[in-house]
Structure 1
Amino acid sequence: MAQPLPIDNIDVVSYTIKIDGSPIKSTYYVLSIDVRKEVNRVASAKVIFVLDRGQAANEAFEPSESDDFKPGKEIEIQLGYHSKDKTVFKGIIVNQSLKARPDRRVQLIVHCSDKAVKMTLGRRNKYFKDMTDSSVISGIIDNYGLEKAVESSAYQHKQLIQYHAVDWDFMVARAEANGMIAYTSDGKVYVKKPLASGAAQLKINYDRDVFEFDGEIETRFQIPSAVAHSWDMKKQAVTEGKSSPPSVPSQGNLTGTQLAATLNLDEFELHSTGPIEAAELKEWAKAALLKSTLARIRGRVSFFGNEMPAVNTLITLEGFGKRFNGDALISSVHHTVSEGSWITEVGFGLPPEWYAEERPITTPPAGGLLAGVHGLQNATVKKIDADPDGEFRVQVEVPMIAASGDGIWARLANFYATNKKGSFFIPEVNDEVVIGFLNNDPRYAVILGSLYSSKQAPPYTPDTENSIKAIVTKNDLKLEFNDKDKILTVQTPAGNKFILSDKDKSITVQDQNGNKMEMAAAGITIKSAKDITLQATGKIDIKANQNISAQASGGDVSLQGLNVNAKANIAFSAQGSASAELKAAGNTSIKGAMVMIN
């Protein structure tokens, strides 16, 4: 059961500041102490010291010059009453600054951060294979030698990529996708589900304890349920994962479902065109509903300083009315010590926005080197040769950049490009093309494809069945695929053709002179408008299982060779309708079992 806020013996605030484990000098005058711990943020602290400007310079600035507050030193801050101090912050000094004021006092401001601040510096790229989010997060934390408490996640990614992202940002984004929060305390990184139940350690009563209170109940961000959609490339269909009711602290008497009903909100939809699997989609949808529900009641309450409140624990609010009473999730703790008083402020509830919506976790377009260009751009081809850099680029003019001028040289994307081989299709001058930009940098354009329009019409008009595919060059060289009739045609503008037809079960070769060869079910037919010549350096063999005929209806049939042999296995006949002649320059022999003449 939550204990009431102690209010006895709190008249004298005390503090202890240690550097590398040792208390600072008692001569250092502390003006204020500020400590912040918050969900999805690295814990921080600020201590302001007052230096006497009236002293000699070497004495006034001695604290700044000493090693005590040198950046990198470990610092511990303890707060309490009557010297019964307890630790509220451990970290390292990351910055010190001096400020002079007209009252001749100089302020030394010491900024401190949890050691996990190392995770917020520098962007990194990394591949993760066959790992859960919790194992990825644990590995990232381990790289910094920090203590950790990471709750397990179930879904195992086949691959997960960290692209040019700060480790802390990447970790928080993945934690949120699993319905978790990240926070630090005294050198330890926590990644856990928001605490939904259990015993609150502290109870705050409105009449007895409160300095300030701000609370709000929000309907606009409340959703009844959530569903996440993606594209299943295996099934070629949309797949989805649905949320389930979350477990949340029992603050107030209005549930997220009741608040969502006031605006008649439909099921909240999340979409990704990536092939996210159903199990991961479900976690995403659950996280969205949990975030919404924990944002239904938000606020802050301040009271006499106390070290007990901690992020991701519960605090009991009493005397605030039925709408706000109950156990609230602590999302932030802020300690302030100033002018002899110690105030603790606790934030409760979570913001409805995702971490990636609150802060720019991705790099700016073009890496911030110059103003980036968003989306695709239309361009017109100006020149396709003589790339000044010899990189086979195409010069294009982008009308939305400048209506005239030299344009830019763009690389050309191909469906197959390799050394000395590949596809070779270059757009024509004055063609309209669409271009994108590497890293959104307008200096590095890539032609992604060419565009048709009513002015630049395609060679075919699409039909309902999309039956024709083709390549037609500017001089009408044509490669046509007829999917409906299963016919492949290669054709020149003069009428030379090569046709493979499943419809006619044939292969046809035809030229512009009327010559034609056709291979079909009935056999092979060769036709010529003029002569047919067969010529071989070696032999020519003509064989058939049945008859072989040679006929010239308007001319002679001639056979000539060193030797001409004609042999019949059964009968041999030679006949002339008008005359017949058999002669030789040498001997002539006619032999048979019987020779009959006339």
Structure 2
Amino acid sequence: MRASPSVSVLVGTARLPLNGLSPERVEVLHRINSVPSARVVLTVQGNPLRDIFEDVEAEVARCAAGEPVSLMLLDAQEREHLIFKGVIEQQTMKADRERTELTLRLRHDLEKLRNSHRSQVFQNMSEATVVGSLLAAQQIPATIADMDLRCEQLVQFGCSDWRFIRERLSASGVWAFPSPERVVIAAPGIAFPTLIIRQHALFDSDHVLMEDASWSFSERAQPEKLKTSTWDDHEQRLDTVSAKDVSLGTGAFDSARGNTINREPWQFSRSAPLGLQRTTALSHGLMLSLQAGRASGEFRINGTAEVDLGDTVSIEGYGKAFDGDGIVTAVRHHIDREAGWRTTLTLGCDDMSSEDVPPAQINGLHIGVVRSFKKDTGGMNRLQVHLPVLGDNSDPLWARLAKPYASDMSGFCFYPEPGDEVIVGFLDGDPSFPVIIGSMHNPKNRAPIDLDAKNDVKALIVGKQGMSSQLLFDSGEQRVDLSSPQEQLVFKKGCKLMSGSGLALTSNQLKLSGASSVSVESMSVNFDQKSTPPKKS
């Protein structure tokens, strides 16, 4: 029988061990881009129905859901290993006259990020700073690399902090490698093998031997080539990036090698102006998630705590078709009081693309309120808009303004005023790329003309500080008015031009004519003829 290691369950902020409750079975799972979990089955010695409450009632109470917990393992060489750290998610107790089981389901501290739901705005930050701030808010230590791209504005909309982090990982082409005490975020890559697993030992060497193994090779969803295009709103053209093959192993685990079923290139396109660098990262991330599923395997060995997520493990002794180096994407520990300790290592991913997290879309139209003018240094004539759906205290977003007509040095230039209520849509449903598509009157910002049953009057009215200029069409009176605070031009069975401050008609030639008569009425009429200077001979 395989020797079983000693596992201590440390509970509470003081991390005190359980003494009366004894671990019978422990399962711990760490997987890339996932929240680590564990399951601990605790039993009580003696008559359970009588002794459970007399001897370990206090310990059961300490194991309440929400309490901090750690699992410490003491191996055969009496070395201590912290194999899990997190929080108790669920407590379940089963009892009969022969046996009592207290089962604890545990989650890594990353569960704090998953157990949330909110919207917020990040401005002028790198991807690493955004993700790091969310982890730091929950006191989760992190090392972050390969996420240096800066974003002018990035919006988390209606989702958990963990989902938003997963979105950013997918968009950046990096993986999260959680461990009991920290999270490492980086692009995956092959390194020198941490462990060599063989089918048979060589020359009584100290190789780790395989207990059982499985391999999977798939050409499902494997593109020959992959291109990603996004719109460049400054240059008015598509930014198109061809993804490079991603090698996540050697030999059998070389994810860049295969026989593609369909050689037509895959094309991903977005209308959102991500920029060339972010488009490149997105294209790389898409290819990474697809090719990661080309070759994978699971290998069960005698228990070890020496292998972490992201390490490289070498498989030897099974022949060219199955040997190679691969990246560890999952580590599962099975510890049983009777059967001992086994560790299952996963190399590669069976279907990584199914775990990709697309951006949480903001569907439909939303209300916005225009903020005070701020010059758009990006040269896009954008306005700052507050979106109440993101929260009362959320920062405003830069939003482009849709117009009925917009062409080179000509167009419909009516910009909303600060405080105006506007309707906002989003490119690709991405909350980071809003577009103002219209404005609305309301009881606070009232319409200058009330709607009635006849609906005869149509107008364009521009007002400021109590003064207005307008172009008014009255189909009932067959009249058109063009007016400013001091002047008015009326077309109604003729033309009438009125001004309170005088009129001046100036032209190189001026001709007044009437078919039957011309009338000039005034208190006084002056006609001044300017003499034409004589021509020089």
TM-score, scaled to structure 2: 0.68
- Matched to 1:543, the amino acid is F
1:136 to 112, 130, 136: 130
Give ranges in structure 1 of 5+ residues lacking alignment.
1-9, 367-412, 430-472, 480-488, 500-506, 548-598
Once the two structures are superposed, the pairs formed by residues 132-531 of structure 1 within 5 Å of their partners are 132-194=126-188, 196-206=189-199, 209-252=209-252, 256=256, 258-260=258-260, 262-266=261-265, 268-338=266-336, 339-350=338-349, 351-353=351-353, 355-357=355-357, 415=439, 417=441, 475=456, 496=479, 511-512=492-493, 522-525=509-512, 527=514
Aligned position for 2:71: 76
Counterparts of 1:129 and 1:158 in 2: how far apart (Å)?
5
Counterparts of 2:170 and 2:103 in 1: how far apart (Å)?
34
1:13 to 4, 26, 38: 4
Counterparts of 1:364 and 1:78 in 2: how far apart (Å)?
48
1:109 equivalenced with 2:103 (yes/no): yes
Give the total of aligned pairs.
427
User: SS state of the match for residue 235, structure 2?
Assistant: coil
Residues 420, 86 of structure 1: alpha-carbon distance in 2 compared, 3 angstrom cutoff: closer
Residues 239, 320 of structure 1: alpha-carbon distance in 2 compared, 3 angstrom cutoff: same
- Matched to 2:529, the amino acid is N
Answer whether contact 2:131 2:165 (CA < 8 A) is retained: yes
Q: CA deviation at 1:239?
A: 2.2
- Matched to 1:534, the amino acid is E
Give ranges in structure 2 of 5+ residues lacking alignment.
202-208, 366-436, 461-470, 483-487, 499-504, 532-537
Aligned position for 2:468: none
Answer whether contact 2:223 2:263 (CA < 8 A) is retained: no
Answer whether contact 2:5 2:340 (CA < 8 A) is retained: no
Residues 318, 214 of structure 1: alpha-carbon distance in 2 compared, 3 angstrom cutoff: same
Counterparts of 2:456 and 2:178 in 1: how far apart (Å)?
69
TM-score, scaled to structure 1: 0.62
Counterparts of 1:66 and 1:138 in 2: how far apart (Å)?
35
Counterparts of 1:128 and 1:72 in 2: how far apart (Å)?
32
- Matched to 1:37, the amino acid is H
Residues 281, 95 of structure 1: alpha-carbon distance in 2 compared, 3 angstrom cutoff: same
Q: CA deviation at 1:180?
A: 0.8
Answer whether contact 2:146 2:174 (CA < 8 A) is retained: no
- Matched to 1:174, the amino acid is R
Counterparts of 1:514 and 1:54 in 2: how far apart (Å)?
103
Aligned position for 1:86: 81
User: SS state of the match for residue 346, structure 1?
Assistant: strand
- Matched to 1:13, the amino acid is S
Q: CA deviation at 1:214?
A: 2.8
User: SS state of the match for residue 289, structure 2?
Assistant: helix
Residues 256, 423 of structure 1: alpha-carbon distance in 2 compared, 3 angstrom cutoff: farther
Residues 258, 34 of structure 1: alpha-carbon distance in 2 compared, 3 angstrom cutoff: closer
Counterparts of 1:364 and 1:64 in 2: how far apart (Å)?
49
Give the alignment's Cα RMSD to 1 decimal: 4.0
Q: CA deviation at 1:105?
A: 1.5
Aligned position for 1:394: none
- Deviation track 1:18-49 (CA, whole Å, cap 9, x = no partner) reads 42455431x43322001111111122222101
Q: CA deviation at 1:335?
A: 0.5
- Deviation track 1:372-414 (CA, whole Å, cap 9, x = no partner) reads xxxxxxxxxxxxxxxxxxxxxxxxxxxxxxxxxxxxxxxxx95
Aligned position for 1:59: 54
- Deviation track 1:507-558 (CA, whole Å, cap 9, x = no partner) reads 99754269999998742536477884635xxx544333269xxxxxxxxxxx
- Deviation track 1:204-260 (CA, whole Å, cap 9, x = no partner) reads 224573333332111122123322212222222222233234343214176535333
Counterparts of 1:17 and 1:253 in 2: how far apart (Å)?
36
User: SS state of the match for residue 332, structure 2?
Assistant: strand
Residues 520, 498 of structure 1: alpha-carbon distance in 2 compared, 3 angstrom cutoff: farther
Residues 355, 11 of structure 1: alpha-carbon distance in 2 compared, 3 angstrom cutoff: closer
Deviation larger for 418-427 or 219-228: 418-427
Counterparts of 1:243 and 1:540 in 2: how far apart (Å)?
84
Deviation larger for 185-194 or 49-58: 49-58
Q: CA deviation at 1:188?
A: 0.8
Deviation larger for 326-335 or 134-143: 134-143
Aligned position for 1:37: 30
Aligned position for 2:419: none
Residues 509, 95 of structure 1: alpha-carbon distance in 2 compared, 3 angstrom cutoff: closer
Counterparts of 1:98 and 1:321 in 2: how far apart (Å)?
48
Q: CA deviation at 1:299?
A: 3.0
1:99 to 77, 82, 94: 94
Counterparts of 2:252 and 2:450 in 1: how far apart (Å)?
67
Q: Kindly name which structure, 1 or 2, has the bigger radius of gyration based on alpha carbons.
A: 1
Answer whether contact 2:246 2:255 (CA < 8 A) is retained: no
Deviation larger for 175-184 or 110-119: 110-119
Structure number with the bigger relative contact order (C-alpha 8 A, sep ≥ 6) is 2
Q: CA deviation at 1:477?
A: 6.5
Aligned position for 2:521: 534
- Matched to 2:128, the amino acid is S
Counterparts of 1:95 and 1:415 in 2: how far apart (Å)?
50
